[in-house]
């Protein structure tokens, strides 16, 4: 993820590290298989490239995803579907 400064508005525009397209904040669904369990986390705050579709997460979101996945991988459930904002991490 890169940044481009726009002097007129005094704001930084986030750029995709893959194609340099513009990133937009958008909730997404994150899915991972860990220890024979499928974990689906809905409504994850993300930055999605409008050009290539690449999804990225900021540091805090990535750390929270790790905690949620670690907690859910300890359950006996084969498939877990949770909401990012409702899950205690």
Looking at the domain assignment, is residue 9 inside a domain?
no
Looking at the domain assignment, is residue 3 inside a domain?
no
- At residue 5, the pLDDT reads 46
Q: How many domains does the chain have?
A: 1
Which residues constitute the domain of residue 28?
24-89
Looking at the domain assignment, is residue 63 inside a domain?
yes
Looking at the domain assignment, is residue 12 inside a domain?
no
For residue 87, what pLDDT band results from cuts at 50, 70 and 90? low
Q: How many CA atoms lie within 13 A of 50 on its CB side?
A: 8
First vs last Cα of the chain: how many Å apart? 26
Token duo for residue 32: 């991972």
Predicted TM-score of the model (pTM):
0.80
Taking only the tens place, the pLDDT of each residue in 35-68 is 889 999 999 999 999 999 999 999 999 999 999 9
Looking at the domain assignment, is residue 38 inside a domain?
yes
């Amino acid at each position: 993820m890169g940044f481009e400064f726009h002097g007129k508005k005094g704001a930084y525009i986030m750029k995709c590290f893959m194609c340099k397209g513009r990133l937009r904040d958008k909730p997404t669904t994150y899915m991972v298989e860990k220890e024979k369990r499928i974990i689906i986390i809905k409504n994850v705050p993300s930055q999605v490239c409008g050009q290539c579709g690449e999804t990225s997460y900021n540091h805090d979101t990535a750390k929270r995803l790790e905690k949620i996945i670690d907690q859910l991988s300890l359950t006996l459930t084969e498939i877990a579907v949770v909401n990012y904002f409702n899950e205690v991490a």
